[in-house]
Amino acid sequence: MKRAFLRAIMTRRAVIKLRWRATLEQAPLYTPLASPALLAYMMDRTLDELILATTYPKVPENHSSRHDSLITSKSCSTCGLNPYIGYFLAGEDALVSAVRTIEVSPALSENELLGSEIELLFAFRVIAHREVNDFCEICWIEHPAASFEEPSTLPRSCPFKAMVAEMKAP
């Protein structure tokens, strides 16, 4: 990733956080943990981790083991109660908006800009999937639809927990 791109992203950090927070405030709340006021405290840590991940990318020690770059749609929560899902979708929206304001320059060609954007978003998605999955692993809600009194579009059972149970079965 080009340093000129990282500098441009870092100079837009405040704007990214403002857009991120605004997007979170417009989203519906399905759980108190998804409160924008609570999630806003995580933005600096997430952005710091993103900059570190793009500046010093990890090289997997053992290619046969599971590592952070393994991303599948099956590994994501679909119950709708994980507060990190909306948090990271809003963050990605804010990052894309910030990237769209970066102009081509002698230090950053159009191809380098596009390549750097791809690397940035991939690193962000790796962080997002890890955090979403980590939250799902500690979640105690087995039956999301039973958590609401009114009819819900939430699944009857948590698909993440069902997938983990299948993986553990002999």
pLDDT, tens digit, 9 for 90 and up, residues 50-92: 999 998 876 554 443 344 444 444 455 556 678 888 899 999 9
Q: What is the pTM of this model?
A: 0.74
Are residues 75 and 129 in contact, defined by beta-carbon separation less than 8 angstroms? yes
**90 versus 147: which is more confidently predicted?**
90
Domain boundaries, the chain: 3-58+71-141
Q: State the pLDDT at residue 2.
A: 87
Query: How far apart, in whole angstroms, are the C-alpha atoms of residue 52 and residue 67?
Result: 17
Q: Residue 31: pLDDT above 80?
A: no
Q: Residue 101: pLDDT above 60?
A: yes
**55 versus 117: which is more confidently predicted?**
117
**86 versus 100: which is more confidently predicted?**
100
**103 versus 141: which is more confidently predicted?**
103
**165 versus 114: which is more confidently predicted?**
114
118 pLDDT band, cuts 50/70/90, is very high
Are residues 82 and 132 in contact, defined by beta-carbon separation less than 8 angstroms? yes
For every residue of 121-158, DSSP letters joined together read HHHHHHHHHHHHHHHHHH---S-GGGG-SS--SS-SS-
Q: State the pLDDT at residue 17.
A: 96
Q: State the pLDDT at residue 142.
A: 58
Select the highest-mean-pLDDT range: 56-70, 93-107, 124-138, 146-160: 93-107
**C-alpha of 80 from chain center:** 14
Mean pLDDT of the chain: 78
